[in-house]
């Protein structure tokens, strides 16, 4: 319900900060740019899956 939304917002906020820091850390290291892009997409995909799983659990419960 309502708390679940707040929790997801907190997770997303923390996650965006994490990715931004990660990008800043490797922005000046050119060879790792491909890894950064892969990491970002993979991470986003994982979050989407997690979000979907949480929605499914909420619907089931």
Question: pLDDT digit string (tens) for 21-41?
Answer: 877 777 766 666 677 778 778
φ and ψ at residue 58, rounded to 5 degrees: -65, -40
Orientation angle between helical segments 33-60 and 2-26, nearest 10 degrees: 170
Alpha helices by DSSP H, listed for 1-61, are: 2-26, 33-60
Alpha-carbon distances, residue 41 vs 33, 38, 57 (angstroms):
13, 5, 24
pTM value is 0.35
pLDDT band per the 50, 70, 90 thresholds, residue 4 = low
Q: What tokens does 40 get?
A: 């970002």
């Amino acid at each position: 319900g309502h708390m679940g939304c707040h929790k997801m917002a907190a997770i997303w906020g923390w996650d965006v900060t994490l990715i931004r820091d990660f990008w800043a850390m490797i922005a000046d290291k050119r060879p790792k740019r491909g890894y950064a892009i892969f990491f970002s997409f993979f991470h986003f995909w994982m979050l989407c899956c997690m979000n979907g799983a949480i929605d499914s659990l909420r619907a089931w419960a």
